[in-house]
Copies of this chain bind each other. A is one copy, B any other.
Amino acid sequence: MSEINSDTIDDRIRLSFARQGAMRTLGAELTRISQGVVEIELPFSEKLTQQHGILHAGLISTTLETACTYSAYTMIESDVSLLTIEFKVNLLSPGKGERFLFRGEITKPGSTIIVADGRAYALSDGPAKLIASMTSTMMAVRGREGISG
């Protein structure tokens, strides 16, 4: 078993995040990595809208799912990779805001099946507004080529 070293974990997550074309395309930034919790922020852009000009529900889900996945990366050894099996998202309020915060947090750090819950918030003047919640199920994969990171 590999040791779990927090510097290594941070580096691994930062490198992995940087390799995501999708996160670059959206303009998302990794803003917090701690044990079992990862946060991503996203400024609003017209590139990211649905037909009514607000943040697309699918992109809320994309960023929230990414935060959930990396929250799981904080709990696994460096030779383990994760596959997302499924997720479910509830859209609780419209995606209106200047900036959005996506927090993923581990609920069940199983050895094979890992479950994370996520919450997305719209940030403007005033208090953060909860806009979405997610549950995401991942599978830890050991020793399979080509999906590390």
Q: Residues of A with Cβ closer than 8 Å to B?
A: 16-17, 19-22, 24-25, 45-53, 56-59, 61-63, 65-66, 83-93, 107-108, 110, 112-113, 115, 117, 130, 133, 135, 137, 139, 146-147, 149
Contact = CB atoms under 8 A, between A and B. Distances in A.
A135 B88 contact: yes
A117 B133 contact: yes
A61 B68 CA distance: 15
A112 B133 contact: no
Contact of A22 (B19, B21, B47, B112): B47
Given A22-B47, A22-B50, A58 B59 contact: yes
A14 B149 CA distance: 39
